[in-house]
Chains A and B, each alone.
Chain A
């Protein structure tokens, strides 16, 4: 198991390097331009000077090399300096700078991380907590009214995109309900809000309800289906009949024997979904103006901001590779029959 993990970890290095190169080339070769969104009143010579100052005109391989150096060598040192107060001699070196904001990309990411984790992370948690019981009951009472309702809700969650459901709840709770009503909810997320006391917590809770529930609907739909399918597979197994024949209580049969065995694939699905929390929910963030990582990525793409797009997508790639590995290791832990050595 340990050797397997080490081997996989070493293999990720060339994989990630290759991914970073592919991302870089895709972003660079796409016809976008950091000065493309400027007003037409700015003439082309000035645009050229701006591009020159940003370093867009350097050879591609130089730009890629610089990015690698900044991302793997300079930024980790700066992080260590900040965390431990060491001096690693980073002063005076040019950090990974975003074209749009002319500020370090890593600072932008660190600034956006809390609101994304807060909103998308909560949604993932809420979605999972709702999905598991729905999946279990739906499977145990297959084709009952509850199961049919669960199927319907999942179907809606799967098929209704957040740019529809998000706007729908805004119209319902922010526009149609008068703003002095108790049920009114803000349509625009206040990212500067800080929770300091009970009142501010209540406000934070209210502004999170809509984005979290819109996202949770989708997550619930997915995970409850997986749980249901997995439970159904196990409910018809011989060991379940044996357990019942031995005179075990129905509760023990379902919640201990069946549920535990059904969790193996479900846990994998949940683990593989975690990187998407960091990726933010691009559309939901836009709809509610949460302005997290997803919104940062989309604005950077529109603005031709190569360093930001490159860094963000690469961090997502790292997370996906990492959580794939974690899921593989989890398999081995959950099911002792699976061995990699």
Chain B
């Protein structure tokens, strides 16, 4: 009597298994209960315009959304609009000075009011207000006017032809705020609107229930979200704080959390955690490159404050034999193996991604100590006084090599120092706390901008998929100096007329292929002229629980870009 229904039930559940596997992520909204995310850097604010920190941008991206964003492959995808405006579909004007976005009809904010072009225009005004201290103002560079043509059409006008007009309202850093909510928070009042900054009304899949700054965010599904049956999770717990090790442990070993962000850990630590069996790491590669920057100016402490790291040239780093030998002596595959494991690749390029911009003209994956020695020998660098470093005309090949304090960086420093000593270059190592090194305090002698050293190592990247503004970091006039209070992005002080001209050409060229061609030339030029020695193409490594489905690690936008599609694997 009882056996039959039980058997039937078992048979039925067996029959359902393949269905559940194939179709586990559709159904009604909130069907999968709670999901928990851990960021070892705790979010401080939900408004990306007032922070700029990755943790804050990504936490905010679950609530506030841009018009278009980048997919995990780096392609632009329409988000709150129907299509990406281009010159072909008439969305971008022929003279490249305007772009017109058409908002998808029927989108509402989480409070039920309609999402209109007025909100988009308001967001632009909010960020471009000079008193607000907007951290994403570069997204609006060159914008002269944002106009709401009708309820669903927004036209952005630039001051000059802009071949890549996808700065404003694209990507996690430039989402749309609700005009009604933030109306009283513009300009100097931006900082005092804690209520709005902590609980922004958005169009995204979730809305904030409670925000505890630097601690935890509780969110619930947005009942007005535009897609039926999404998100699959009813609530989100977004915990912050601790360290990367603990976050990785909580996902992969103890299984307390479903998703852990940016696990910058030694490869063997990750591998050990993976043995916990509760979750797995996922890696994605953006344009982040760990590199050596070679000072093109003279950093000698004998010079005065107005001259040190300002006047050219460097005593010996301008010699092609020297910088080429320094690069040849480095065993990049070994650096990848000990420093980053799965989350690293060998690269010879300053711009290693997206693929279209990745130059293939150089190779550097083999260490060549003998070749490096020969190169130096032929150029006349010999150790004439027997002190262990080569010299020529009284100039010793001895340098100061600095970096920020970080276990992997100190390992790299020690290894590279050893390899350089094998080719007769002595290096003195130095590391500076990262909040000082990257702090930009003009009064401190230890910042990376001041560059009071011969060589320094750090990593840098760019947002989105177009490297034009990143490549501008090689322009002569961007060099930090006392005249600019040591601000500026051209850290190596590289200065080359050909480079400047080529970059100008890039800023007037439309079309991906042509731009990629120029981009590669710029990359090759700066590397071959010895301003930069790229070391490792670094990826982002995050981890998710085995039971969490739908994760597509995106390095081009917020990692949580598709959180609406996440579901519980049953």
Contacts and interface: CB of A to CB of B under 8 A. Distances in A.
Interface of A: 31-33, 35-54, 94-95, 97-98, 100-104, 107-108, 111-112, 170, 174-175, 179, 186-188, 190-192, 286-287, 289, 291, 295-296, 299, 302-304
A112 B213 CA distance: 10
Nearest to B273: A175
Nearest to B218: A192
A192 B237 contact: yes
Interface in B429-467: 434-436, 438-441, 443-444, 446, 449, 458, 460-463
Contact of B439 (A33, A104, A179, A299): A33
B255 interface: yes
A45 B214 contact: no
B450 to A, nearest CB: 11
B256 A186 contact: yes
Interface string B192-208: 11100110000000000
A217 to B, nearest CB: 20
A305 to B, nearest CB: 9
A304 B137 CA distance: 22
B44 interface: yes
Interface stretch (B47-55, B380-388, B559-567): B47-55
14 contacts: A36-B440, A40-B438, A45-B487, A46-B134, A111-B215, A174-B253, A179-B256, A186-B254, A187-B256, A188-B239, A190-B237, A191-B212, A291-B42, A291-B240
B35 to A, nearest CB: 15
Given A36-B435, A41-B461, A53 B191 contact: yes
A35 B254 CA distance: 35
B198 A35 contact: no
Q: Rank and list the top 5 A-B pairs by shortest CB-CB distance, nearest first.
A: A53-B133, A44-B487, A103-B194, A36-B439, A33-B439
A100 B44 contact: yes
Given A31-B446, A295-B215, 7 more contacts: A33-B441, A53-B133, A97-B192, A102-B190, A107-B194, A188-B246, A291-B216
B273 to A, nearest CB: 10
A289 B38 CA distance: 11
A13 B500 CA distance: 61
B525 to A, nearest CB: 21
A304 B45 CA distance: 16
B249 A170 contact: yes
B298 to A, nearest CB: 23
B192 A32 contact: no
Given A37-B53, A286-B241, A104 B438 contact: no
Nearest to B237: A192
A191 B440 contact: no
B319 interface: no
B135 interface: yes
Nearest to A94: B192
Given A53-B132, A289-B239, A289-B241, A40 B460 contact: yes
B219 to A, nearest CB: 11
B216 to A, nearest CB: 6
Contacts of A296: 214
B317 interface: no
A37 B41 CA distance: 11
Contacts of A38: 51-53, 135
B254 A41 contact: no
B489 interface: yes
A101 B218 CA distance: 17
Nearest to A34: B439
A295 B487 contact: no
Contacts of A33: 435, 439-441
B215 A287 contact: no
B53 to A, nearest CB: 6
B440 A304 contact: no
B488 interface: yes
B311 interface: no
Nearest to A100: B44
A142 B12 CA distance: 72
A47 B194 contact: no
Nearest to B436: A31
Contacts of A47: 440, 487
A40 B461 contact: yes
A304 B439 contact: yes
